[in-house]
Amino acid sequence: MAFKIGVIRGDGIGPEIVAEAVKVLDKVAEKYGQEFDYTEILLGGASIDAAGEPLTKEALETAGKMDAVLMGSIGGNTTTSPWYKLPANLRPEAGLLAIRKGLGLFANMRPAYLYEELKAACPLRDEIIGDGFDLVVMRELTGGLYFGERRTYVEDGIEKAVDTLTYGEDEIRRIALRGFDIAMKRRKKVTSVDKANVLDSSRLWRKIVNEVAMDYPEVEYEHMLVDNAAMQLVRDPKQFDVILTENMFGDILSDEASMVTGSIGMLSSASLREDSFGLYEPSHGSAPDIAGQNIANPIATILSASMLLRYSLNLDEAADDIDAAVKKVLEDGYRTVDIMSEGMTQVGTREMGDLIVERI
């Protein structure tokens, strides 16, 4: 069967890490007799350079015709890149927000898994790490502060800015359903994170989550204030299974969760809608300072390709093969510079991709 996969190579290290993920996809396609038809799509800085805007209407339409989209990192150096001298709506990240909204990608799923082989890279003490941890942050992606009304204005000679946080019960309900569904496939625990002691939007969030939870009697669930959740992630990450939260809180907490795994270069990400379509990308940024040096870690992008196979194409066995190959490479002692430790063998971006392909 032929599947249509959109490929957004992105900016900075994006083209390098996406190339390795495509290499891995080609290997599983060969092994399982699948056919992947790739279509190149421009987004972010690459699109600004080519078309003068971070996401064209044509690119969005093309992405919508795919079975799934694999994406590298977007953006550049915010101090030196000419992209950041443009108005905010024409900067690279505006294209990312636009494609999420335009494709209805309301659910962002970021796993945070500590590999046994990378415990030494985790900044937490051994007694906190224990046997490791395995959690998922389920973040609402198309509502809240990032998409609310905003303006900057002058009043009585004083410059002011306003950002509006708005959520409808339908937006909350659909992300809660996705979070509880994922929990049913894992350890059946949901921690819903909000700021209900202060925000009306969080009080509505909590009300709707309570209603959704009634349909999942097998799932243990709790509410946790976001400031406490941030502390608990570094005090005892093992307590979490699925963290369900709104857009801005999810943005912050997923980055915190990624760092306690030892390297953000290891963490995949999926942005999903109600059907099987998804956009898959690494959790890390474009790292323009190391672009083109063959030192970037491609594992997060390769694991994102694994998620693409699992959640959009329903190719679980192929996804399992990729996950197992990554683990085997780490067991064999190979490391990119960001996860390098004494006694290991340091390899570059392309070499890491080749090693994973060899083990599939």
Q: Could you give the residue numbers annotated as active site?
A: 146, 195, 227, 251, 255
**Do 70 and 22 meet the contact criterion of CB atoms below 8 Å apart?**
yes
Sheet holding 68-71, edge to edge: 35-40, 2-8, 68-71, 278-282, 268-272, 107-113, 134-140, 242-245, 189-194, 220-225
The DSSP call for residue 121 is: G
**174: amino acid identity, one letter:** R
Type of residue found at 50 = A
Q: Which residues contact 75 (CB under 8 A, 6 or more apart)?
A: 11, 12, 44, 45, 83, 92, 93, 285, 286, 288
If you search the block for the tokens 């699992």, which residue do you land on?
Answer: 310
DSSP 249: H
Q: How many residues does this entry show for the chain?
A: 360
User: What b/e string do you get for 168-180 counting C-beta neighbours within 10 Å, with b at 16 or more?
Assistant: eeebbebbbbbbb
Which residues have C-beta within 8 Å of that of residue 14, sequence separation ≥ 6? 8, 71, 72, 73, 74, 286
User: How many other CB atoms sit within 10 Å of the CB of residue 219?
Assistant: 20
Place of tokens 């805007």: 53
